[in-house]
Structure 1
């Protein structure tokens, strides 16, 4: 069993929290674009209020622990490990509640190379607890706006976790998916579930557009967010995202294993 102290040490050693690899310049650029309502940063969220850059900086300082000094414009950004631990406990509570109710759950990630293993472990545990882990729309095409224009992606699942694949990639069942912030994949999945008259998720677990896109549609959503992902934390502040966990979402995939074990233990889903 991983203690809170041991996980805190791991977060800092792996740079999941503390000084992280996300540059301050990248975070500030994201806040500027979110304030301008750039859809690439909204991730499917339609905020209720007007969020200026200073508002976002104060929010991210409160939610993540980044510096709230607008004059701090370069160097690594910082995530407070205590905020990460508190959010992980809340995240675990939501998973425990889903397990008790045996609710249908959807997992999806825009970071398949890094986070498939983390989400897959949670999906396995919820499935074993009696939850239906949903996998609709496998193979369905989704048009996603990228910096290269609109590109066609296809939906797939790896161990119960949804992702999108780039055109021409046929490695079905592998984690070789595309990095995306788009909310369109989760909308396509939900549309397919409705068309098939199948179960709809009562909880969505993931990151980026999977969380914000689902939360905007009124589905309970929990997920992970980096310092340059203000949409998740705005969504949490406005009540559309139930839990947003601040951590670096770009470290090597094996560093997320201890976090999964901690969450499952806190949710009493360890086997």
Structure 2
């Protein structure tokens, strides 16, 4: 049984929380880019507030536990494991409510190499509880602007979890997909669901552009985010994202399994 105390110890030992691998320099750079409204960092959120760099830093200190001191500019970032646990409890409550209603749910990740297994376990549990796990726009092409230029990628689903992959070189249904921050895949998926006459998701679960893009369009969205991704936390602060769990999103995939077990137990979805 993954109790809060046991999971807290795991979070710190695996560097999911506590001192994490995300560099303070990277986080501060992305806070500056967010304040400048760089779309690569907004990842689907259109902020209503002014959100200067200091505002973003204060928010991330409150939501994640990073240092609020702008003079602290180097070294590893820090996530307060108590904040992670509290957010996981809220995350689990949203899943429990979706299961109670038998709500249709859409899962998607921009971190398939790391987080696919976490989301797939949740998708399996919600499906067993009677929720429809949606897979709209399977195989649809998505043109995404990357640091290497415009790339055409393909929307795919693995164990009910959406991701994007390069069109050639990977077999359909295989792993892994492409690391992506773009909100375009979730927009394509939601457009396809609407064109087909539904159902539309009552809950979107994911990270990066999946949670931000869905939340911006008015869908209830919950997910995970690292200290260098301020957009989901701003979305949560402004009421467009329901729950964001602060956690390092780039540790080995096996480290997230206890989080899935903890969440499913708290949501009364363990089998």
Q: TM-score band, normalised by the shorter chain?
A: over 0.9
Name the SS of the counterpart of 2:255 in structure 1.
helix
* Unpaired runs of at least 5, structure 2: none
Paired residues in the alignment total 271
CA distance in 1, matches of 2:175, 2:108: 12
Q: Which residue of 2 aligns with 1:207?
A: 207
1:9-51 per-residue CA deviation (whole Å, 9 max, x = no partner) reads 0000000000000000000000000000000000100011110
Superposition pairs of residues 176-195 of structure 1, within 5 angstroms: 176-195=176-195
TM-score, normalised to structure 1, is 0.99
CA distance in 1, matches of 2:15, 2:110: 20
* Unpaired runs of at least 5, structure 1: none
| 2:110 corresponds to 1:110 | yes
CA contact (8 A) 1:137 1:192 kept: yes
Name the SS of the counterpart of 2:61 in structure 1.
helix
1:43-67 per-residue CA deviation (whole Å, 9 max, x = no partner) reads 1000111100000000000000000
Q: Which residue of 1 aligns with 2:66?
A: 66
CA distance in 1, matches of 2:244, 2:159: 23
CA contact (8 A) 1:126 1:133 kept: yes
Q: Which residue of 2 aligns with 1:89?
A: 89
Superposition pairs of residues 1-271 of structure 1, within 5 angstroms: 1-271=1-271
TM-score, normalised to structure 2, is 0.99
Name the stretch that deviates more: 169-178 or 6-15. 169-178
CA contact (8 A) 1:116 1:175 kept: no
TM-fit CA distance, 1:169 = 3.1
TM-fit CA distance, 1:175 = 2.1
TM-fit CA distance, 1:172 = 1.2
CA distance in 2, matches of 1:230, 1:32: 10
TM-fit CA distance, 1:191 = 0.8
RMSD: 0.6
TM-fit CA distance, 1:170 = 3.0
CA contact (8 A) 1:144 1:153 kept: yes
TM-fit CA distance, 1:198 = 2.4
TM-fit CA distance, 1:154 = 0.2
TM-fit CA distance, 1:174 = 1.6
